[in-house]
């Protein structure tokens, strides 16, 4: 059974339908990509999953339970963690203290039911930013701040990681290391869902892709099938019949 199930979700903002009967799943131990052109509804889907946006229709199920009407903090308590496209660190605190705050907040939420045991410095080491532990968060490079967001998320010991543009600001070497980290985190049994425009990263690490266009899921499957899907080619490029070997480069060029 899938850890996350998004079922027939609709989100309207006035007369605009941002998400149009979208449905997809994510399984534990696998990395799932949610991709599509700008404005396709990807972040809105994330907001529905995490409780920041109420859907007009549809249902969210997590770990076998319907959570569509649960508030954000109760979803976190059940094992959801999320990073944001816009960085949300406490700028006046050090990198270490940012993670410590996340750990302590989680302890307060989970109490004796699911106590946090994450070691702060161990988390910084794991995501590769231990050298910045004593730096103020508002002074670190954007790529490091992205990894800080991930460390803070991991401090809550989530079963499901929702990552919104996690590689933004990373250079090529950092992106490769980040992909290896994601694979290791998924191998420990977590479900990872990522919204990402770096097609090289998406195609190399994701087990399953769901493609959104105008709020609808137009294709789902492993990366090899998505590359060759004419609906995906039309959504990104306006035409189909792009050679498989060239599609990743084309998708990256129009991100």
Q: Long-range contacts for 45-54 (Cβ within 8 Å, ≥24 apart)?
A: 45/6, 45/9, 45/19, 45/212, 46/82, 46/162, 46/164, 46/193, 46/195, 48/6, 48/9, 48/11, 48/19, 49/4, 49/6, 49/80, 49/162, 49/193, 50/75, 50/80, 50/82, 50/162, 51/75, 53/11
Residue 241: predicted pLDDT: 54
Residue 208: predicted pLDDT: 96
Ranges in the chain annotated CATH 3.40.50.300:
1-68+159-168+188-255
Tell me which CATH code domain 1-68+159-168+188-255 carries. Answer: 3.40.50.300
Model pTM score: 0.86
Contact (Cβ atoms closer than 8 angstroms) between residue 84 and residue 164: yes
Each of the 255 residues of the chain gets a pLDDT tens digit; together they read: 799 999 999 999 999 999 999 999 999 999 999 999 888 999 999 999 999 999 999 999 999 999 999 999 999 989 999 998 888 888 899 999 999 988 888 776 544 444 444 588 999 999 999 999 999 999 999 889 999 999 999 998 999 999 999 998 888 998 999 999 999 999 999 999 999 989 899 999 999 999 999 999 999 999 999 988 888 888 776 655 545 545 555 555 544
Residue 238: predicted pLDDT: 61
């Amino acid at each position: 059974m899938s850890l996350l199930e998004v079922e027939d979700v609709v989100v309207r903002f006035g007369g605009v339908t941002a998400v149009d009967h979208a449905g997809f799943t994510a399984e534990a131990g696998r990395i799932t990509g949610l991709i599509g052109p700008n404005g396709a509804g990807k972040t809105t889907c994330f907001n529905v999953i995490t409780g920041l946006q109420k859907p007009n229709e549809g249902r969210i199920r997590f770990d076998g339970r319907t959570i569509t009407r649960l508030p954000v903090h109760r979803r976190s308590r059940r094992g959801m963690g999320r990073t944001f496209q816009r960085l949300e660190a406490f700028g006046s605190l050090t990198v270490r203290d940012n993670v410590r705050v996340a750990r302590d907040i989680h302890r307060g939420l989970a109490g004796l039911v699911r106590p946090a045991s994450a070691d702060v410095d161990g988390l910084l080491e794991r995501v590769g930013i231990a050298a910045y532990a004593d730096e103020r968060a508002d002074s670190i490079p954007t790529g490091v701040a992205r990894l800080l967001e991930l460390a803070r998320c991991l401090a809550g010991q989530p079963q499901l990681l929702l990552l919104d543009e996690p590689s933004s600001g990373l250079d090529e070497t950092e992106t490769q290391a980040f992909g290896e980290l994601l694979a290791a985190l998924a191998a420990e049994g977590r479900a990872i869902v990522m919204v990402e425009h770096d097609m090289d990263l998406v195609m190399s690490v994701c087990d399953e892709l769901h493609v959104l266009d105008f709020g609808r899921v137009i294709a789902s499957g492993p990366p090899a099938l998505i590359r060759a899907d004419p609906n995906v080619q039309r959504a990104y490029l306006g035409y189909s019949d792009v050679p498989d070997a060239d599609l990743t480069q084309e998708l990256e060029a129009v991100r």
